[in-house]
A = this chain, B = another copy of it.
């Protein structure tokens, strides 16, 4: 079974490597617009052969994974529609669903029935194949978003492949996926970038950043992420991100008013509610998805 990987970044490189180790595929052909990245994937053992063009890489593919930034997916799907063997199963690992599935539907034509996307919830501090690991997905959730027109065989093929590398596959609708991840992933990335940038734009940035401690380090870890990937996500999931941003800005305005007016009880209420939820969410030993809502809302 030959996997053709388009885009050998952290996620694509790790996924191909993991699927090879798990025996899901026996050989990985790879293409990346940055030829160095594809060659590095081969040198690391994540892939077996790097190609200079997407068409060459697609030759002989039994299954195809697109792991490029989401705004570039549409170009990849067009090439797949043109050049891939008809039998091949097709997937992508993009972080947004509605716009990517629409792009696949438009570009893949009849091949759309062989397509089923799965978004693995994993990442690392640094982007790029240099940070790829075949165990990146052990215990991670992978979101499958089947839709009308995708064949059950395609959905099953990719869900099994992700299960084989240790991921826990969860199904939801594309719209629900985009709402959920706008809140718990996309907006936090925007805020983390904005926090770092607002310090850079104000005075004494060097002095301030020289005293950044562990809290700031963790809060801004995701601001080290790939600008290309997150620009694409912001554009592809614009509506859901703007909606999450509205909710956040309303909350921040409320907090600002409490700080300005010196409202001790009001601040204690918000901070107390948030800290209880956060502690419960990542309590030691809590299973993934075991979050239970807080019933006690201090007045």
Contact = CB atoms under 8 A, between A and B. Distances in A.
Interface string A233-266: 0110010011011011111100110111010100
B218 A222 contact: yes
B200 A184 contact: no
Interface residues of A, number: 98
Interface stretch (A73-81, A148-156, A201-209): A201-209
B195 A293 contact: no
Interface in A206-221: 206-221
A35 interface: no
A226 B267 contact: no
Contacts of A209: 184, 277, 281, 291
A260 B274 contact: no
A211 B184 contact: yes
Interface of A: 71, 121-123, 126, 140-141, 143, 176, 179-181, 183-185, 187-202, 204-228, 230-231, 234-235, 238, 241-242, 244-245, 247-252, 255-256, 258-260, 262, 264, 267-268, 270-275, 277-279, 281-282, 288-294
User: 3 smallest A-B Cβ distances: which pairs?
Assistant: A227-B271, A198-B251, A196-B274
